[in-house]
Amino acid sequence: GENVEQHPSTLSVQEGDSAVIKCTYSDSASNYFPWYKQELGKGPQLIIDIRSNVGEKKDQRIAVTLNKTAKHFSLHITETQPEDSAVYFCAASSGNNNAGNMLTFGGGTRLMVKP
């Protein structure tokens, strides 16, 4: 089955700096890679996703890159703000018809943005 590794487990940055979180996956059939943000006591919320037919996607201060050959993808947050502080999860899915959209998650990264 799929295995997703995520690094670092904690990340502390100064407000205004950039943050980068990296993930690797094992199943070459995976073709959908979402990133979720989880605030304390809440459920995960999708912030950006990328499919295997593109290498990069950007949405305002957030961007995700995908390298299918190396089987890794990264989340980039620029101009970080204190409200970006949360736990971020990467995930991967092969999305075949039998498995629906079953996601395998990384272990999470606790991002702390210091004012």
Partner 1 sequence: NAGVMQNPRHLVRRRGQEARLRCSPMKGHSHVYWYRQLPEEGLKFMVYLQKENIIDESGMPKERFSAEFPKEGPSILRIQQVVRGDSAAYFCASSPDRAFAGELFFGEGSRLTVL
Using the rule CB under 8 A, is 40 a contact of partner 1?
A: no
DSSP 93: B
Member of 24, 30, 34, 66 binding partner 1 (CB under 8 A): 34
Torsion, CA 75, CA 60, CA 15, CA 6, rounded to 10: -10
Residue 46 C-beta: closest distance to partner 1, Å: 5
Residue 100 found at the interface with partner 1 (CB under 8 A): yes
Per-residue exposure over 16-45, b if at least 16 CB sit within 10 Å of its own CB, e if not: eeebbbbbbbeeeebbebbbbbeeeeeebe
Contacting range for partner 1; rule: CB under 8 A; set: 20-28, 44-52, 55-63, 66-74: 44-52
Cβ burial, residue 78 (10 Å; 0-12/13-18/19+) = middle
With binding defined as CB under 8 A, does residue 3 bind partner 1? no
- The CB-of-110 to partner 1 minimum distance in angstroms stands at 9
Among 7, 59, 102, 114, binds partner 1 (CB under 8 A): 102
Binding footprint of partner 1 on the chain (CB under 8 A): 1, 6, 32, 34, 36, 41-46, 49, 89, 95-108
